[in-house]
């Protein structure tokens, strides 16, 4: 988990985290859920959204740039997960900020 947070801007996925932990994906998922109370995929997406929140507060960069810096493929993916986790759009968050 610490590695993922420290490297959140880098392109990796849960399979990569499992390999890094020297575990099969299935074993990694089971252990991760026991520790975090959620799937590794959900946790990683949540961490990426949290990072995007910080970037939105700190800069006026375009959404696609922030999305890439938060580890998302594009702004569309960031918009979807941002709304799912926070219940608001990126624009609403920026205006509120």
16-49 pLDDT, tens per residue? 999 999 999 999 999 999 999 999 999 999 999 9
Q: Check which CATH number belongs to the domain holding 31 and give it.
A: 1.10.10.60
Q: Is the pLDDT at 97 greater than 80, yes or no?
A: no
Determine the angle formed by the axes of helices 40-58 and 75-86, rounding to 10 degrees. Answer: 100
The CA-to-CA distance between both ends of the chain, in Å, stands at 28
Contacts 24+ apart (CB under 8 A), 32-39: 35/1, 36/1
What is the pLDDT confidence band of residue 82, given thresholds at 50, 70 and 90? very high
Total number of domains in the chain: 1
Q: Cα(53)–Cα(56) distance, rounded to whole angstroms?
A: 5
**Domain that includes residue 56, residue range:** 2-96
Question: For residue 20, what are its two tokens?
Answer: 């890094």
45-57 pLDDT, tens per residue? 999 999 999 999 9
Mean per-residue pLDDT over the chain, rounded: 94
Tell me what the mean pLDDT of segment 61-83 comes to: 96
Counting residues of the chain whose pLDDT is more than 70, the rounded percentage is: 99
């Amino acid at each position: 988990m610490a590695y993922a947070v420290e490297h959140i801007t880098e392109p990796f996925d849960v399979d990569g985290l499992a390999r890094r932990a020297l575990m099969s994906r299935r074993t990694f998922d089971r252990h991760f859920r026991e520790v975090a109370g959620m799937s590794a995929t959900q946790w990683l997406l949540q961490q990426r959204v949290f990072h995007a929140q910080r970037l939105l507060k700190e800069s006026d960069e375009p959404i696609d740039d922030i999305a890439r810096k938060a580890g998302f493929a594009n702004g569309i993916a960031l918009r979807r997960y941002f709304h799912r986790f926070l219940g608001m759009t990126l624009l609403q968050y920026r205006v509120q900020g």
